[in-house]
Amino acid sequence: MTTGLLALMIATAAVLPAQWVNYSTPGIPRTADGKPNLSAPTPRAADGKPDLSGLWKAPSGKYLLNLAADLKPEEVPFQPWAAALFKQRQDNLAKDRPTGRCLPHGVPDQMAVPGYPFKIVQTPGLVVILYEEMTHFRQIFLDGRALSKNTNPAWLGYSVGRWEGDILVADTTGFNDQSWLDDPGHPHTTALHVTERFRRKDFGHMEVQVIIDDPEAYTRSWTVTENFDLLPDTDLLENICENEKDFQHLVGK
């Protein structure tokens, strides 16, 4: 990643919105001094499954700045055209990234935005993810339906899920080809299939393994693992991207 691109990403990702204050979240285990005990055991839902519910945040912008941050360059198996496009976006300091025009992140990078938490609401038949940034939402259906092959292309795709032991597995397809996998611009096509494996390790920590499978952009699937922290005693606020007038001033390299 170029120095100029890194500086641009840090500048745009470092905005930290205010959250609710003086709010004690019900049901959070606490230590003797009243502080949230984030190392307490993983909570369980009424059906015995791990309860992923809560307000979560990325601890840093690491995977927004580069989804493949933990991988060697050769471990991201680009198709030739995708490698050329990724290089072009980097050389141009990612000035055309969708969020610069008030367009949404996609999957998986919407969860990786630092400073903007997301809320998981879990029921036996449905998991809803509410994203604070730009006030978007996503549904993961757990009612046994199959992924449809006749959907309108969407920024966040269409998701179905299932439980494998204590891990929630979400499969998402039906994407448009307008979003980027991260801010530097790892590309994808409408053939993208994202598999996420959600594991709540304890009360305050969640691991999500992400498998990127897009045969039109990559020669094989590739995998990253991200971690998220519970954000207790606060809640989401409305966040609207309402002014993209500065986009024309992003001149790139």
pLDDT band for position 17 (50/70/90)? low
Q: What is the number of structural domains in the chain?
A: 1
Both structure tokens of 55 = 């307000």
- Residue 249: predicted pLDDT: 52
Q: Looking at the domain assignment, is residue 186 inside a domain?
A: yes
- Count of beta carbons in the 10 Å neighbourhood of residue 142: 20
The structure's pTM equals 0.89
Q: Looking at the domain assignment, is residue 253 inside a domain?
A: no
Both structure tokens of 192 = 């993208």
Q: What are residue 199's phi and psi, to 5 degrees? A: -135, 115
Q: What is the pLDDT of residues 138-190, one digit of tens each?
A: 999 999 999 988 889 999 999 999 999 999 999 999 999 999 999 999 999 99
Q: Looking at the domain assignment, is residue 242 inside a domain?
A: no
Report whether 23 contacts 234 (CB < 8 A).
yes
Q: Looking at the domain assignment, is residue 38 inside a domain?
A: no
Q: Looking at the domain assignment, is residue 97 inside a domain?
A: yes
**Calpha distance 91→2 (Å, rounded):** 8
- Which H or E run includes 87? helix 80-91
Three-state DSSP class for 34? coil
Mean pLDDT over all residues of the chain?
90
**Calpha distance 246→253 (Å, rounded):** 16
pLDDT band for position 15 (50/70/90)? very low
Q: What is the pLDDT of residues 55-75, one digit of tens each?
A: 999 999 999 999 999 999 999
Q: Looking at the domain assignment, is residue 28 inside a domain?
A: no
Structural domain harbouring 127: 3-12+48-146+155-232
Both structure tokens of 159 = 């998701």
**Calpha distance 176→23 (Å, rounded):** 39
Q: Looking at the domain assignment, is residue 125 inside a domain?
A: yes
Q: Looking at the domain assignment, is residue 41 inside a domain?
A: no
Q: What is the pLDDT of residues 72-113, one digit of tens each?
A: 999 999 999 999 999 999 999 998 999 988 999 999 999 999
Both structure tokens of 117 = 């938490």
